[in-house]
Amino acid sequence: MTGATSAPAGPLDGPSAPEAAPEAAPEAHWLRRWVADLAMGARFALGGGREGWTRTVLTSAGVGLGVAVLLLATSVPHMLGARESRDQARENHGATETEKSDRSALYTYTDTEYRGSDVRGRTLQPEGSDPPVPPGLSELPGPGEMAVSPALKELLDSADGELLRERLPGRITATIADEGLLDPVELTYYAGSDQLTHGGAVFRVDKFAEVSEPAPIPALLLLLIIVICVVLLLPVAAFVGAAVRFGGDRRDRRLAALRLVGADSRMTKRVAAGEAATGSLLGLAVGAAIFLPLRQLLGEVNLWGIGTFPADVRPSAGLVVLIAFGVPVGAVLVSLLALRGVIIEPLGVVRNAGVRRRRLWWRLLPLVAGLALLVPLLDGLETGQTSVETYQIAAGVTLVLIGVNALLPWLVESAARRLRGGGLSVQLAVRRLQLDSGTASRAVSGITVAVAGAVALQMLFSAVVDDQQRHTGQSPERAEMLVTVPATAQLSEPEVTAGLAETRGVKQVFGQTTGYAVRADQNPDDGAVDSVTVADCATLRELAKMGSCENGDVFVTERSPQEEPESVTGAKPGAEVNLAMPDYSRPEGKQQREPVLWKVPEDARTVKGRTDPMGVASEGILATPAALDVSRMPGASVDVYVRTDDGVADAKEFVRNTAAAVGPTATAISLKATSTTAQFRAVERGLYAGATGILLLIGASMVVSTLEQLRERKRLLSVLVAFGTRRSTLAWSVLWQTALPVLVGLALAAVAGVGLGTVLLRMSALPFAVDWGNLAGVTVLGGLLVVLVAVVSMPALWRLMRPDGLRTE
């Protein structure tokens, strides 16, 4: 057997050796024999002529794609971790008190939004010679200066950024380095100022990286992430499994030739294992070769405002080791498993698959086991909960999806067995499936898992999104935007309102001054707080239902039984209230203000409060400007609801620009009837991107197996054409043959997906609902894939149908 490794000649030269060798040292050298057999497999993979070579290329390309996806997936934890640590390093949420010193600075958030993109903004004002500098900067920008991220700089320099430039007029003196950015596409800036005064939203900092423990990922989100990982990675595994089997038929015939020259069946298995291992090892190399440039490419990608630094895309070492060992081992196991149904005889290959009918019962086992893991968790997940039985859920979902996968071949087989009738092309397709449905099922199984998972996820998503929407309750039809100016800006409501009313694209404005009060006889720190709103009658009507209203009137809102007892509230006619609430932004001990006393007029009318456009119920004291002078309300902020003109493009950007001009602390927000948190949005987008990629991967493997099958039938196709068979008949038969398993797979996926979705919904105590539109969308996507595969296979089919096939023998 020693000759096998050294002989450089053709594949059939080596195996004659084993017959000669065994007597020499059969036991002492079993390891050497193993190594030699594996090496021979490797040689087949690398040098087995064009056929062996093609097979190796296909396998390694398939495995490589899978490995690249796995490497990418295992990089996600580090990607998120690095992002988060950079995020923490640059923030200071002002949770701790800081004394004014040489090393302190005033700090406020000036985040804004520009044409749907979030822009993170911070304004800083040093209070001494040694102020804190956030990561990515060498010094703070001076007053009127800005340091911006590269992406923001690009935007501001472009024509697209003109309107934003008006809002951020500072001179750009520095670019924020990578360590101060979440990702290369992030829009962020630091502005210098000398206008900030301490208090309100302006707080004092003397360092960064001052954040409380990051909010743990909510249980629901965690559930989603677990399911997404399972749903996206399982098809990749299925794909790698299919890639390892590419060209199996030819390999079997080659092994038969090996047996003819004296190899025993165990030896052929070892040779097959060597071949599979070689293909998958090459696949690992290909995967790395794909991953490395892909990583660089990710730095250029801006997917819905989220990007990545190539340096962040770093798979964790443990998982890399797992992939490096797991993929070849898995590949070998899959090939050996595939050989189980095949008897390789010296004179040919006997396939006993197809004769044996598939049994149902063991195929149901994983499904049952998965459900057994998930069912005890029903109703067990609170929305606010932060820890979940991660492994139990992941295992349960995985088992259910694997169970669906196991069920598919059985279903395709029984569907094909039951099908009768139809035209010739259908008959050809059905008969083909009846004889060998395994190949077809394997190609489709990835789709089934991906679609079942996607359906379940979508159900969970829409439920979660609905859940979020119920908490929103904003009414954009009453006002699209809300501009808020805190008291520290020292601006009166009419000034702000007038400025906004003149802004381009604004139809209507409702301005109000809002402060708080406690009853004069109570301690401001722990008394019952009532809101005090001062606005003209037009605005007040938005806040409460009232009959007549004249400047000088005062109203109090009706109380609902759940609220504080009437005895403690100041919101009633004749009550005396203290308008000077403590200023909690000041250090402890300096928060109390001088009391400002005001008596609610005896003739104040009681009215029924309305919800304001923000969705908050109005309550407390509502006063017209003539009844209460707003200058007596320390700490009151100005809120202006803005109605914009839909016909004016960028109306909201003009409003934001006006608000920004008011001062760094003025904020302008858009009201939305629905709101999903950014986290959920990002996860959902990731899912769609992943699912699309997976479907394309599966499409690729289906094309390969279809082409392979066609090539196998080259002679038959030529004979059929010689008979005068219409090419279209054969083309249709290919389409049916591809479509039938996919249809069965999609139907199964829809049922399984809705089932799994229901379990997940019950688990998170969300109401059952199926978004049939989405379900149809996913199914249509699968159908498109069939068409795509058929269309891509057509040129090859046409070529194979030429009469040349008759000549080959």
Give the residue with the Cβ less far from another protein, 174 or 717. 717
Smaller CB separation from another protein, 567 or 728: 728
Nearest residue (CB) to another protein, 289 versus 716: 716
Assess contact for 226 and 390: CB atoms under 8 A: yes
Rounded distance, CA 196 to CA 673, Å? 34
Per CB under 8 A, 726 contacts another protein = yes
From residue 602, alpha-carbon distances to 573, 606, 626 in Å are 5, 11, 16
- Which residue in 729, 780, 787, 798 binds another protein (CB under 8 A)? 729
Q: In this structure, are residues 542 and 510 in contact, taking their beta carbons and an 8 Å threshold? A: yes
Interface region with another protein, contact rule CB under 8 A, candidates 219-227, 611-619, 715-723, 767-775: 715-723
Residue nearer to another protein on the CB measure, 562 or 728: 728
- Phi, psi (deg, nearest 5) at residue 633: -110, 90
Q: How far is the CB of 260 from another protein (least distance, A)?
A: 19
- Residue with Cβ nearer another protein (188 or 737): 737
Q: Is residue 747 packed enough to be buried (19+ CB in 10 Å), middle (13-18) or exposed (0-12)?
A: middle
Tell whether residue 25 is a contact of another protein (CB under 8 A).
Answer: no
Q: Name residue, tokens 């291992």.
A: 277
Whether the CB-CB separation of 91 and 208 falls below 8 Å is answered with yes
741 contacts another protein (rule: CB under 8 A) = no
Helices of type H across 650-764: 651-662, 678-712, 714-722, 727-763
Shortest Cβ 470–another protein spacing (Å):
56
On whether the CB atoms of residues 50 and 56 are closer than 8 A, the answer is no
Task: Name which of 93, 725, 764 is nearest 377 in CA terms.
Answer: 764
357 binds another protein (CB under 8 A): no
Coil, strand or helix: which one is 806? helix
Shortest distance in whole angstroms from residue 729 CB to another protein:
8
Query: Whole-number minimum distance, CB 441 to another protein, in Å?
Result: 16
Report the residue number, 421 or 561, with the smaller CB distance to another protein.
Answer: 421
> Rounded CA gap, 797 and 699, in Å?
17
* Interface with another protein, residue 347, by CB under 8 A: no
* C-beta closer to another protein: residue 177 or 806: 806
Q: How many CB atoms lie within 10 A of CB 645?
A: 13
CB of 802 to another protein, least distance (A): 9
Stretch near another protein under the rule CB under 8 A, chosen from 213-221, 369-377, 491-499, 718-726: 718-726
Residues of this chain, 779-808, that bind another protein according to CB under 8 A? 803, 806-807
Instruction: Give the Cα separation of 162 and 657 in Å (integer).
Output: 11
Q: Where are the alpha helices (DSSP H) in 375-482?
A: 390-418, 424-435, 437-472
CA dihedral 55, 56, 58, 63 (to 10 degrees): 140
Shortest Cβ distance from residue 733 to another protein (Å)? 10
Radius of gyration from C-alpha coordinates of the chain? 35
Minimal distance in Å, beta carbon 734 to another protein? Answer: 13
Residue from 321, 375, 661, 716 touching another protein (CB under 8 A): that is 716
Site for another protein in 372-431 (CB under 8 A): 421, 424, 427-428, 431
Name the minimum Å distance from CB 428 to another protein. Answer: 7
Cβ atoms 764, 383 nearer than 8 A: yes
Residue from 372, 435, 617, 626 binding another protein (CB under 8 A)? 435
- Residue 348 or 773: the one with the smaller Cβ distance to another protein is 348
CA–CA gap between residue 84 and residue 215 (Å, rounded): 11
661 near another protein, rule: CB under 8 A: no
The answer to whether 723 contacts another protein (rule: CB under 8 A) is yes
Beta strands in 546-603 (DSSP E): 554-557, 576-578, 597-599
CB 701 within 8 A of CB 242: yes
Nearer to another protein, 361 or 723 (CB): 723
Choose one: 506-514, 684-692, 717-725, 769-777; the region binding another protein (CB under 8 A). 717-725
Our finding on whether 585 is near another protein (CB under 8 A) is no
Residue 246 CB, nearest approach to another protein (Å): 21
90 within 8 A of 136, measured Cβ to Cβ: yes
- Does residue 16 bind another protein (CB under 8 A)? no
CA separation for the pair 70, 58 (Å, rounded) = 18
Considering all CA atoms of the chain, what is the largest pairwise distance in Å, rounded to the nearest integer? 117
Q: Which stretch binds another protein (CB under 8 A): 320-328, 503-511, 615-623, 725-733?
A: 725-733
Helical pair 772-800 and 437-472, crossing angle rounded to 10 deg? 150
Q: Which of 725, 754, 774, 799 binds another protein (CB under 8 A)?
A: 725
Residue 720 makes contact with another protein by CB under 8 A: yes
- Choose the binding region for another protein from 73-81, 432-440, 671-679, 761-769 (rule: CB under 8 A): 432-440
- Minimum Å distance from CB 226 to another protein? 43
Q: Does 470 bind another protein (CB under 8 A)?
A: no
Secondary structure of residue 549 in the 3-state scheme:
coil
Instruction: List, in order, residues 6 or more apart from 588 with CB less than 8 Å away.
Output: 97
Q: Is the dihedral of CA 627, 628, 630, 635 positive or negative?
A: negative
Q: For residue 362, what are the CA distances in angstroms to 368, 403, 410, 414, 439? A: 10, 9, 11, 16, 20
Residue 320 binds another protein, judged by CB under 8 A: no
Q: Which of 721, 749, 785, 786 binds another protein (CB under 8 A)?
A: 721
Q: Is residue 152 near another protein by the rule CB under 8 A?
A: no
Question: Is residue 689 near another protein by the rule CB under 8 A?
Answer: no
Produce one character per residue of 691-727: b if its CB has 16 or more CB atoms within 10 Å, e if not.
Answer: bebbbebbbbbbbbbbbbbbbebbeebbebbeeebee
Q: Does 266 bind another protein (CB under 8 A)?
A: no
Q: Least Å distance between CB 807 and another protein? A: 7
- Select the residue interacting with another protein from 43, 86, 432, 652 (CB under 8 A): 432
Indicate if the alpha-carbon torsion angle 176, 177, 179, 182 is positive or negative: positive
Residues in contact with another protein, counted by CB under 8 A, come to a total of: 23
Residue number with CB closer to another protein (723 or 772): 723
* Closest separation in Å from C-beta 424 to another protein: 5
Considering only residues 186 through 245, tell me which ones interact with another protein, judged by CB under 8 A: none
The answer to the question of residue 349 lying near another protein (CB under 8 A) is: no
Q: Residue 11 CB, nearest distance to another protein (Å)?
A: 25
Toward another protein, which CB reaches closer, 72 or 344?
A: 344
Name which position in 715, 758, 765, 783 contacts another protein (CB under 8 A).
715
Using rule CB under 8 A, residue 672 touches another protein:
no
Residues with Cβ < 8 Å from 606, sequence gap 6 or more? 555, 556, 557, 558, 573
Comparison of 20 and 350: residue with beta carbon closer to another protein: 350
Smallest distance from the beta carbon of 760 to another protein, in angstroms? Answer: 41
Q: Can residue 352 be called a binding residue for another protein (CB under 8 A)?
A: no
649 CB-side CA count, 13 A: 2
What distance in Å separates the CA atoms of residue 298 and residue 316, rounded to the nearest whole number? Answer: 18
Closer of 590 and 807 to another protein (Cβ): 807
Question: Residue 613 or 805: which CB sits closer to another protein?
Answer: 805
**Positions of E strands within 127-202:** 145-148, 171-175, 188-192
542 Cβ contact partners less than 8 Å away, ≥ 6 residues apart: 478, 510, 610, 612, 613, 641
**Residue with smaller CB distance to another protein, 357 or 545:** 357
Could you list the residues that contact another protein (CB under 8 A)?
421, 424, 427-428, 431-432, 434-435, 715-716, 719-726, 729, 803, 806-807, 809
